A and B are shown apart, each in its own frame.
Chain A
Amino acid sequence: MAHTLRRIPTLLARSLANNASKNCRIQTRTCFATAIQHTLDKIDSKRTRALEGGGKRRTDAQHARGKLTARERINLLVDPGSFVEFDMFAEHRCSDFGMDSDEKRHPGDGVVTGHGLINGRVTYVFSQDFTVHGGTLSSAHAKKICKIMDHALNTGARCGLKIQEGLGYRKGLSPSLRNVMASGVIPRFHSSWDLVLIILFFLLPGGAVYSPALTDFTFMIKDTSYLFITGPDVVKAVTQEDVTHEQLGELKRTRLSRTWSFENDIDGLTKLRELFSYLPLSNRDPAPIVQSDDPANRLVPVLDHIVPFESIKPYDMLDVIHAIVDNRSFFEIMPAYAKNIVIGFARMNGRTVGIVGNQPKVASGCLDINSSVKGARFVRFCDAFNIPLITFVDVPGFLPGTSQEYGGIIRHGAKLLYAYSEATVPKITVITRKAYGGAYDVMSSKHIGGDINYTWPTAEVAVMGAQGAVKIIFRGESDIAQAEQEYIEKFANPFPAAVRGFVDDIIQPSTTRVRLCRDLDLLSTKKKENPTKKHANMPL
């Protein structure tokens, strides 16, 4: 492809020269032809230089580190041959610190922008080039990004995608650039609900880290991705603390912060394409439906056996999810963080759904600060992009204890409650086992607007577990064991909820897929709008 591009100016030159020869005198003709030739040569050489990025030496170094260049990344991300580039000739206009030498000016200015197709759908993309000025921002660089974003919005707020890698702001640049970026770009991310995905490849210190923090999904690559506010040198200068890049922002942090990790660039980009296929490219599109070959009426016998009879025994909620969704394909989000809640995308009869499930395997599936926030953010994302929500409930309650209380479990738990209450997309809930107390309420219950709520026969919808409840109700009394048995018979089953209409039906687990697929079709015409307001005041 690069070869063809380079040939175009030469062909153009010939045809222009031919035209000129017909209309002009020989003298002028020669001058004109020379000038044209010069311009065309310049186009040619600039284009070649732009395509080369930072040159062979830097490119090789990038490869040796297990990383790709900006253009290689784009080529892998979009369907082969579909990328169209903008602003290949943009250059920075900075003159301080010797930045104005020809050497230091680089066509494209360290960022590749344009549009392409991902699985046939239009996508706008920019990718920062670490081999050119370390991927740092200049005003030309920033303007390129703004331009591509404007395009994305003007053509229907289609998906924007960033591939980011850089050392921050380029030396000698005016700090006002930061404002350009902030006022021109960042608010757009959230004010327009434009979907922005980031793949982050390397060092990303300073203000630039807020950019991934403001986006919906962040990918990181093992061993090569780092994310922190201030680099080791600054940390040393300010706090005298000796730290390395790894310690500050290594991938193990993904357990603490909320990103993904992948083996290498190729793996990450392939997965990114997969994630894309689940999402509408803007909030004006419905959740995508693709042709499905997994029958919607497939019975799933395995579901009849996953939940153990003993309510204290753990099981893996992922077993339930994998069995129900199309072709066992579940794209889990943040699998390493707050593992007591599982979130991710899947398809039901071809239609994208967002799945939230308590994970009884980890910390009994209780809700704590981190899992509440993880769940809340996902629920809000799905709601913003018209993706129906399916919630699998097996929750013994909120995690008790001082650390949770001091950390603000009430406020954070409220985020999940708020997110579910606010969501207007179809909401279907399946209670697989425990649904206790306030946590039951929060998990897309009927009380906060669940559209269809089911329980399995193993469900226990109650204020709390028998043991705990009996200890409180019958404090000081002798026949605790009998009281506990009575409590179990009364409340540790689906009937209390079913007779009150808090669940719509008690279903055989193996029929869950059939029911959910039918309900999703039914709810596809759901119309519900929240009252008009400037914005709601969610418990941040």
Chain B
Amino acid sequence: MAVRGCSSSLTRGFHRNLLMAKVVPYLSAGHSKARLYSIYTTTTFDPNEEKFDKILIANRGEIACRVMKTCREMGIKSVAIYSEADAQSLHVEMADEAVCVGPPPTGESYNKMENVMKAIKQTGAQAVHPGYGFLSENKDFAKMLEQEGVAFIGPDTLALQAMGDKIESKQLANNAKVNTIPGYDGVLKDEEEAVKMANQIGYPVMLKASAGGGGKGMRIAWNDAETREGFRLSTDEAASSFGDSRLLIEKFIDNPRHIEIQVLCDRHGNSLYLNERECSIQRRNQKVIEEAPSTFIDPDTRRAMGEQAVALANAVDYVSAGTVEFLVDSQRNFYFLEMNTRLQVEHPITECITGVDIVQEMIRIAKGHPLKLKQSDIPINGWSVECRVYAENPYKNFGLPSVGRLYRYQEPSYLPNVRVDSGIREGSEISIYYDSMISKLITYGKDRPEALQKMSRALDEYVIKGVKHNISLLQDVLGHEKFISGDISTNFLPEHYPDGFKGYQLQEDEKSNLLAVACCVHLKQEQKSRAFLNQTSLMPSVPRLSQASFVIISDGVHHKATINETAFGYEIHVGDSNIMVDKNWSLSQNIITPQVNHTPQVMQLVNQNASGDVTLQYKGTEYSMKVITAEASRLQSLMPEKVAADLSGEVQAPMPGKLHAIQVQVGQQVGEGQEVCVVEAMKMLNSMHAGKSGKVKKIFFKVGDNVSEEEVILEID
């Protein structure tokens, strides 16, 4: 395979060797640690069992790394594939071999079957693990492998076809006596039919791509206009994501829970269900927080769901790991949603509570071995929670992708009972080409409160700098009383944050504590600024700066504060409170743990400089403050406000991406709220609306151009 775009094989090889020297010991250390404290207590691995020699992982990022870890455990060589953008990724370095499969866009690399096939032949891999996404549910790919005599670590083509098609799968489910949602059992021809069917079923309705998954090509409509818009966008999205634009429509169940059952089936007629996962916390139909087991499911329902899931799997002679998704209403009625014929993103929580290494079982099954476990062997050990940590801005629509380079990155995997599945490390770049997930943060404990408490601590100590991230949202949901009580639904976010997520809302005392810490940070900085070690112009008569009056500006409010350094710490007076902060932390630490009034706090010092800017991350949310002198504060209030320019006439890209479509022309009259263009980012289509009525003055880009965040796409006069 041509190594396109790599400047020279020599440079590359050289560079890699240098890098490997550092990476290998790190990985082997993690490896042996994983062995010592393995969570896979139920899985029994027989090293003498016949196995594949070499597996190619047709994926990238965390899931590629996850599969490789099990390959290592089993003593199987792994092959990575990568696009030019991923040449320096962790999964490439972790693998025993790596092959470049093309340029960054997924259609030209990870999704391009010919290139992946070439890589398989070139490396002589005997089996392919597809991970999730990309080619994982592509029946043509599975067929191609079959023809080449390479094992596909997943179900057979028949099952892929049946379950990959939402219409067919629904019929199959009906036949297998699995509860299904009312809807129209057919493909929608056009907008008109969509509107007609929607009215027949009754609003709200859900439009979804027949080939879809992961929230792509899926839209909810509450009226005819939304149905039309949804039909158009979903068709385009489905076409670009799956190469199949067929849509179907069904009743949208309001306020449901999303609960799914993990199944495992071998080629010898054995089928198991590994209990449920509760995945109700979602944004725009993408899961954010998952847990296993569910607080809502009683043993009877669990058994009923499990048995229906297994029945469905058996109906298509399912082989390998799969997930049957259900919507569960408030009466614990459950409806079949779809079956995912692949390893799920959130599989680790099931692994944590059952002790089964699902990837290992998949590999064994693909090799033709029978499952050694029986349904009665599958336990529910304690509780496990997973948070998907995304590179995104949670303040915009619960998460709009953010790109950049992780200049500081530290996973809290050193904490006990914390598992971090990631495919990145310090220095990695989050690019516009792929999913914006940074990692999956998984914690487990003997019960739910323990797992949640560990999660909160892990989120506090997760250092991510260089991109925006959703830790604030995760932390806030975890602390929400409704979540703690288990009272959740798929509408959780829009229901409890009707005006969007605004960050953690501080209590009065928390606010004073933050102001006090900011004050200490600035005093430390000021002391540092005058700690010259070699200057002749210092005045010996000037005493050390140990007390000061500051004004801290937070959200535009000026707070007066005095700070006094003593031998033991800092005494701060801010507002009406006197606060003591200890001294045993420094400005170069990522995570600071100041004792505030003798209570330890976990905060992150996100940003801090000599000009008095202090940004602290507390409970996941960043608080930007500015510490200035009293005189500066007085003068600041005399300065006129600079009027921000009116931007309603500009349509800006909300995130970096590619212009998918422009619906207007220069000179055209548009109304406020009218869709003017569509930006595609991370495979999602985002429709952009006019901020005011007027005439289109200028369009700065054409379809297909890349736009960066906040770039003006067009102007309306």
Residues of chain A having any CB pair with chain B under 8 Å? 63-66, 68, 72, 75-76, 80, 82, 117, 119-122, 156, 158, 223, 263-267, 270-271, 273-274, 277, 280-282, 284-286, 288-291, 293-295, 301-306, 309-311, 319, 322-323, 327-329, 350, 457-458, 460, 485, 488-489, 492-493, 508, 510
Would you call B611 and A306 a contact (CB within 8 A)? Answer: no
Q: Do B535 and A285 touch across chains, with their CB atoms under 8 A apart? A: yes
Given A80-B631, A295-B588, A305-B429, residue A492 in contact with residue B11 (CB < 8 A)? yes
- Report B625-658 CB contacts with A as 1/0, cut-off 8 Å: 0001101100110111010000000000000000
28 contacts between A and B (CB under 8 A): A63-B639, A64-B640, A65-B640, A66-B640, A76-B631, A76-B632, A117-B539, A119-B532, A120-B530, A120-B542, A120-B545, A121-B537, A121-B538, A270-B628, A289-B532, A290-B533, A291-B528, A293-B586, A293-B588, A302-B405, A302-B407, A302-B427, A305-B427, A305-B428, A319-B405, A329-B609, A492-B7, A508-B18
- In the assembled complex, the Cα of A327 lies from the Cα of B19 at a distance in Å of 25
Chain A contacts for B545, CB-based, 8 A: 120
B152 to chain A, nearest CB (A): 31
In the assembled complex, B529 has its CB within 8 A of some CB on chain A:
yes
Distance in angstroms between the alpha carbons of A508 and B17 in the assembled complex? 11
Given known pairs A293-B587, A302-B407, the reply for A270 and B611 (CB within 8 Å) is yes
A120-B539, A310-B84, A489-B8 known; A266 and B427 CB under 8 Å?
no
Residues of A within 8 A of B642 (CB): 66, 223, 263-264
Any A CB within 8 A of the CB of B147: no
Which residues of chain B are near A64, meaning CB under 8 Å?
A: 640
With A281-B535, A288-B534, A510-B22 known as contacts, the answer to whether A72 contacts B542 (CB < 8 A) is: no
A63 B537 Cβ-Cβ under 8 A: no
Residues of chain B with a CB closer than 8 A to A271's CB: 611
On whether the beta carbons of A493 and B14 are closer than 8 Å, the reply is: yes
Asked if residues A458 and B407 are in contact (CB atoms below 8 Å), the reply is: no
Question: Which residues of chain B from 327 to 368 have any CB-CB distance to chain A below 8 Å in the complex?
Answer: none
Please give the residue numbers on chain B whose beta carbons come within 8 Å of chain A beta carbons, in ascending order: 5-8, 10-12, 14-15, 18-19, 22, 84, 87-88, 405-407, 425-429, 526, 528-539, 542, 545, 586-588, 608-612, 628-629, 631-632, 635-636, 638-640, 642
Closest 10 CB pairs of A and B: A302-B427, A305-B427, A120-B530, A291-B531, A274-B610, A293-B588, A119-B530, A63-B638, A311-B7, A488-B8
User: What's the minimum C-beta distance from B362 to chain A, rounded to whole angstroms?
Assistant: 31
A291, A329, A485, A489 — which one has the most chain B CB atoms within 10 A of its CB? Answer: A291
Beta-carbon nearest neighbor of A490 in chain B: B10
Chain B nearest CB from A57 CB (Å) reads: 14
Q: How far is the CA of A121 from the CA of B18 in the complex (A)?
A: 46
Closest Cβ of chain A to B41, distance in Å, is: 34
Give the complex CA separation of A63 and B629 in angstroms. Answer: 18
Residues of chain B within 8 A (CB-CB) of A267 are: 611
Please name all residues of chain A whose beta carbon is closer than 8 Å to the beta carbon of B407 when the two chains form the complex. 302, 319, 322-323, 328
Determine if A266 and B635 form an interchain contact, defined as CB atoms under 8 angstroms apart. Answer: yes
Closest to B404 in A: A319
**Which of chain B's residues have a CB closer than 8 A to the CB of A277?**
529, 610
Contacts of B14 in A (CB 8 A): 457, 493
- Given contacts A289-B534, A293-B587, A309-B6, list 11 more A-B pairs with CB under 8 A: A120-B532, A120-B539, A121-B539, A223-B642, A266-B636, A271-B611, A281-B535, A294-B588, A328-B407, A489-B10, A492-B8
- B537 near A158: Cβ-Cβ < 8 Å: yes
Considering the complex, give the chain B residue whose CB is closest to the CB of A303.
B427
- In angstroms, Cα B88 to Cα A319, docked, is 17
A457 and B632 in contact, given A329-B610, A350-B533 (Cβ under 8 angstroms): no
Interchain nearest-CB distance for A296 vs B (Å):
11
Give the distance to chain A from B299, nearest Cβ to Cβ, in Å. Answer: 48
What are the residues of chain A within 8 A of B429 when measuring CB–CB?
305
User: When the two chains form their complex, are residues B7 and A120 in contact, meaning their CB atoms are under 8 A apart?
Assistant: no
| B22 lies within 8 A of A121 (CB) | no
Choose among B18, B84, B535, B611 the residue with the greatest number of A CB atoms under 10 Å from its CB.
Answer: B535
Q: In the docked arrangement, what's the CA distance between A332 and B266, Å? A: 62
With A64-B640, A66-B639, A280-B535 known to touch, is A304 a contact of B405 (CB < 8 Å)?
A: no
Structural contact, A119 and B19, CB atoms closer than 8 A: no
- Nearest A residue to B609 via CB reads A329
Q: Are B538 and A264 in contact (CB under 8 A)?
A: no
User: Which of B11, B586, B612: most chain A Cβ within 10 A?
Assistant: B11
Q: Could you tell me the distance in whole angstroms from the C-beta of B545 to the nearest C-beta in chain A?
A: 8
Known: A120-B538, A309-B87, A493-B11. A290 touches B532 (CB 8 A): yes
Taken together as a complex, chains A and B put the C-alpha atoms of A205 and B530 apart, in Å, by 37
Q: Please report the C-alpha to C-alpha distance between residue A311 and residue B11 in the assembled complex, in whole angstroms.
A: 10
Min CB–CB distance A308 → chain B (angstroms): 8
- How far is it, in angstroms, between the C-alpha of A473 and the C-alpha of B528 when the chains are bound? 57
Q: Closest A-chain residue to B543, C-beta based?
A: A120
A301-B427 CB under 8 A given contacts A294-B588, A310-B6:
yes
Tell whether, in the assembled complex, residue A122 and residue B537 are in contact, meaning their CB atoms are under 8 Å apart: yes
* C-alpha gap A252/B517 in the complex (Å): 39
> Which of these, B11, B535, B611, contacts A457 with CB under 8 Å?
B11
Nearest B residue to A295, CB-CB: B588
Assembly CA distance A457 to B609 (angstroms) = 33
CA distance A322 to B586 in the complex (A): 19
Nearest CB in chain B: distance from A435 CB, A: 14
Chain B's nearest CB lies how many Å from the CB of A444?
23
Of A282, A305, A328, the residue contacting B88 (CB under 8 A) is: A305
Contact residues in B for A460 (Cβ distance below 8 Å) = 11
Among A265, A285, A293, A306, point to the contact of B405 (Cβ < 8 A): A306
Q: Which residues in B have their C-beta under 8 angstroms from that of A282?
A: 537
How far is B539's CA from A80's CA once the two chains are assembled, in angstroms?
15
Query: Which B residue's beta carbon lies closest to that of A271?
Result: B611
Which A residues touch B610, using CB under 8 A? 273-274, 277, 329
User: Whole-angstrom distance between the alpha carbons of A293 and B527 in the complex?
Assistant: 12
A290 touches B6 (CB 8 A): no
CA distance A64 to B641 in the complex (A): 10
Of all chain A residues, which has the CB nearest B466?
A302
A289 B539 Cβ-Cβ under 8 A? no
B61: shortest Cβ distance to chain A, in Å?
A: 15
The reply to whether A119 and B587 form a contact with Cβ atoms under 8 Å apart is no
Contact indicator B537/A156 (Cβ below 8 Å): yes
Q: A271-B611, A457-B14, A493-B11 are in contact. Are A289 and B426 (CB under 8 A)?
A: no
Which residue of chain B has the shortest Cβ distance to A281 in the bound complex? B537
Complex: A458 Cα to B612 Cα, angstroms: 38
Q: How far is the CB of B520 from chain A (nearest CB, A)?
A: 14
Q: How far is the CA of A281 from the CA of B88 in the complex (A)?
A: 45
B587 adjacent to A302 (CB under 8 Å): no
- Decide if A301 touches B15 in the complex (CB within 8 Å): no
Chain B residues within an 8 Å CB radius of A65: 640
Q: Give Cα distance in the complex from A156 to B426, angstroms.
A: 47
CB distance from B423 to the nearest CB of A (A): 13
A223 proximity list for chain B (CB < 8 A): 642
> Could you tell me if A72 and B536 are in contact, using CB atoms closer than 8 angstroms?
no
How far is the CB of A54 from the nearest CB of chain B, in Å?
Answer: 15
Picked from A264, A288, A303, A329, the residue with its CB within 8 Å of the CB of B532 is A288
CA of A458 to CA of B12 in the docked complex: distance in angstroms? Answer: 8
Cβ contacts under 8 Å, B640 to chain A: 63-66
| Interchain nearest-CB distance for A70 vs B (Å) | 13
Residues on the A chain within 8 Å of B405, using CB = 302, 305-306, 319
Q: Is the CB of B536 within 8 A of A156?
A: yes
Name the one of B15, B608, B639 contacting A266, with C-beta atoms under 8 angstroms. Answer: B639
A122→B426 contact, CB < 8 A: no
Are B631 and A122 within 8 A (Cβ)?
no
**How long is the Cα–Cα vector from A76 to B631 in the complex, in angstroms?**
7
Q: For the complex, what is the distance from the CA of A82 to the CA of B545, rounded to whole Å?
A: 13
Distance in angstroms from B340 CB to nearest chain A CB is: 33
Which residues of A are found within 8 Å of B427, using beta-carbon distances? 301-306
Report B633 CB to chain A, min CB distance, Å.
Answer: 9
Interface centre among A119, A273, A350 (most CB of B within 10 A): A119
Contacts of B425 in A (CB 8 A): 301
Q: Across the interface, do B537 and A270 meet the contact criterion of CB distance under 8 Å?
A: no
